[in-house]
């Protein structure tokens, strides 16, 4: 079945009120590309502002806590993201798995909390460089998929982002053959677990996607979109990626 291309910007810890115009420019340029779904995940502090300034735009969080409320200083709950105007959240990004010690079980709990709050989810997986070099990348990622996915969910409410850690922010990208092998393996694992619904789930690629390599990566088999970090911060860099996705969608 045809899956709509999905291009998502992860602004990470970048952007204050001065970036509102950039988000407006991105969504204005994306609007004619109706065959592509576009989202921006800004820092928490900008979610309410962007959601108010851009009605109809998909704005997401970059993380959420697994609990709905409580004594968790500095954390943000999934219902709070919804309250601020988010409709999407990223969970399990490697900068949280590695930087904050999040386990597969933590990521699964966050994904379940997000779905329960009414958010859609992008669940990230990916291998470190040493695992890629040792030939264990597919086993590593499939174990993350098995351990992090919620037990049950609607196929259109959760996308997986395959982000090799060594490709994030480095300018390095896997070969198209390696991307296709990984995405194919993830799709097969989803099919074993969820049957036909696996054909409806989107699997995004993330890691140094830019305007030059987007067409090749987005055109790879089983690649349904891109999770983009650095190149999503400006319209000048992000819009060509959206346009490449639109070109492929036809």
Residues of this chain that bind ligand PEP (CB under 6 A): 10, 163, 168-169, 206-209, 227-231
Place of tokens 């860099």: 237
C-beta of 195: minimal distance to ligand PEP in Å?
29
Please identify the residue of the shown chain whose CB is closest to the bound ligand PEP: 229
- C-beta of 54 vs 209, nearer to ligand PEP: 209
- C-beta of 83 vs 212, nearer to ligand PEP: 212
Tally of CB atoms within 10 A around 15: 18
232: nearest Cα among 3, 78, 80, 15:
15
C-beta of 32: minimal distance to ligand PEP in Å?
24
Do you know the residue count of the chain? 250
9 three-state secondary structure: strand
* CA geometry: angle 241, 13, 130, nearest 5 deg: 75
Catalytic annotation, pick one of 95, 102, 127, 163 = 163
Catalytic annotation, pick one of 22, 93, 102, 183 = 93
63: nearest Cα among 90, 28, 85:
90
C-beta of 207: minimal distance to ligand PEP in Å?
5
**Maximum CA pair distance of the chain?**
49
Q: For the stretch 216-233, what's the b/e string if a residue is b when 16 or more beta carbons lie within 10 angstroms of its beta carbon?
A: ebbebebbbbbbbbbbbb
- C-beta of 98 vs 191, nearer to ligand PEP: 98
C-beta of 227: minimal distance to ligand PEP in Å?
5
- C-beta of 69 vs 158, nearer to ligand PEP: 158
- Separation of alpha carbons 198 and 196, rounded Å: 5
C-beta of 68: minimal distance to ligand PEP in Å?
26
- Separation of alpha carbons 71 and 67, rounded Å: 10
33 is catalytic: no
- C-beta of 80 vs 233, nearer to ligand PEP: 233
Tokens, residue 138: 């597919």
**Residues known to be catalytic:** 93, 163
């Amino acid at each position: 079945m045809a899956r709509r291309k999905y291009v998502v910007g992860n602004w990470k810890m970048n952007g204050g009120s001065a970036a509102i115009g950039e988000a407006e420019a991105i969504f204005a340029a994306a609007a004619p590309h109706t065959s592509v779904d576009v989202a921006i995940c800004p820092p928490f502090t900008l979610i309410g502002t962007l959601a108010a300034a851009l009605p109809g735009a998909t704005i997401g969080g970059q993380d959420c806590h697994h609990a709905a409320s409580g004594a968790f200083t500095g954390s943000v709950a999934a219902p709070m993201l919804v309250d601020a105007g988010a409709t999407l959240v990223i969970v399990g990004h490697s900068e949280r798995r590695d930087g904050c010690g999040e386990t597969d079980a933590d990521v699964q709990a966050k994904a379940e909390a997000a779905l329960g709050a009414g958010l859609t989810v992008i669940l990230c997986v990916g291998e470190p460089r040493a695992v890629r070099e040792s030939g264990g990348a597919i086993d590593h990622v499939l174990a993350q998929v098995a351990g992090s996915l919620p037990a049950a969910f609607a196929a259109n409410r959760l996308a997986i982002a395959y982000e090799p850690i060594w490709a994030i922010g480095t300018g390095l990208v896997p070969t198209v053959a390696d991307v296709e092998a990984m995405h194919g393996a993830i799709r097969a694992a989803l099919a074993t677990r969820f049957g036909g619904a696996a054909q409806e789930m989107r699997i995004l690629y993330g890691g140094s996607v830019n305007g030059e390599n987007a067409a090749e990566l987005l055109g790879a088999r089983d690649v349904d979109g891109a999770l983009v970090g650095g190149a999503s911060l400006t319209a000048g860099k992000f819009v060509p990626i959206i346009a490449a996705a639109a070109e492929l969608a036809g």
